Amino acid sequence: MLKKRTKYIIGFLIIMGALVYLISTTFQSSLQYYVTVAEYLNNTSKYKSRTLKVAGIAADIQTSLNADGKTVYNFNVNEEGKGLAVSYLGFVPDTFKNGAQVVVTGRMNEGGNFEATEILAKCASKYESKVRT
């Protein structure tokens, strides 16, 4: 029969192994790149067809209605003179406006347009908190 201590160590290792496996497998799938607009545009081939987060300043916000009558937001995310055209269907946070720091999550579609699925916005000038949709 195994020594008690050895049994504990084996048990402990099994538990830890299971947990490490769990963490590492889920981790891979939920990791996203977080880049600035300039980084993104300098390396579009690398990030192509990947879902990622892009940070910059929102500008030229325009809205239009799609076929279902829902509001679509078209705007630019700018950084250092470079701009990324983004379209977004959904709800924007209260802090979303021209000049706000934003982080958009999404991916480039076939037409070369960046489609966002989530927008985080931070009002740079006045408040210390950001709001999410």
Partner 1 sequence: MSPLSLAGSHFLALALPTAILSLLFYLIGEKREIEALKVSAQRGTILTFLLITAAVVTLLAAFFTDDFSLAYVVGHSSSTLPLFYKFAGLWAGLDGSILFWTWLVALYSFILLKTQKNKNPDWMPTINAVMMSSLIFFLSLMIFANNPFSPLLDPASEGKGLNPLLQNIAMAVHPPSLYLGFTGFAVPFAFGLAALRTRRLDSGWIEESRTWTIIPWFFLTLGLILGGAWAYVELGWGGFWAWDPVENAAFIPWLLATAYLHSVMVQKRRGMLMVWNVVLVSLTFLMTIFGTYLTRSGVVQSVHAFSEGHLGPFFLGFMALIILVSMYFIVTRLDSLKGSQGLESFFSKESAFLLNNIILLVAAFAVCWGTLFPTMTEFVTGERTSVGPPFFNQIMGPIGLTLLALMGIGPMVSWKKAQASLVANNLFLPLLGGLIAGIIGWVIGIRQWYGTGSVILITFAFGTVLMELVHGIRAVRLQKKLGFLDSFVTLVVTSNRRYGGYLVHVGVLFLFMGIAGSVFKQEADFALKPGESFSFQNYRFNYISPEITTEPHKTEVAAKVDLYLGDKKLGSIRPSKGFYNASEQPSTEAAFYHRALVDVYLIIANLDEKTGRADFRVTLNPLISFIWFGGVVILLGVGILVLPASVKKSWVKGLGMLVFLFLPFSPMHSSWAANSGMVHEETGEDPFLYMDAADPLTIRLKEVADKLLCQCGGCVRTTLKACTCTFAHKERSRILAMLRAGSSDEDTLNAFIKEYKLTVLTVPPSEGFFGMGVMLPPIALLFSIIGGSIFIRRAALRNRKSAPPVATILSEDDGYADKLKKELDETP
Interface residues toward partner 1, by CB under 8 A: 4, 7-8, 11-12, 15-16, 19, 22-23, 26-27, 29-35, 53, 63, 65, 68-71, 89-95, 97, 103, 120, 123, 125-133
Closer residue to partner 1, CB minimum distance, 12 or 109: 12
Cβ 82 to partner 1, closest distance in Å?
17
Sequence-distant (6+) residues with CB within 8 A of 129 are 122
Cβ 32 to partner 1, closest distance in Å?
5
Closer residue to partner 1, CB minimum distance, 45 or 110: 45
Closer residue to partner 1, CB minimum distance, 92 or 108: 92
Look-up of token digits 């709001």: 131
Closer residue to partner 1, CB minimum distance, 31 or 112: 31
Ramachandran angles phi, psi of 70, nearest 5°: -90, 155
Q: Distance (Å, rounded) from C-alpha 28 to C-alpha 25?
A: 6
Cβ 72 to partner 1, closest distance in Å?
10
Q: Distance (Å, rounded) from C-alpha 90 to C-alpha 39?
A: 26
Q: Would you state the structure tokens that stand for residue 75, as one six-digit string?
A: 């705007």
CA 110 to chain centre: 19
3-state secondary structure of 113: coil
Cβ 33 to partner 1, closest distance in Å?
6
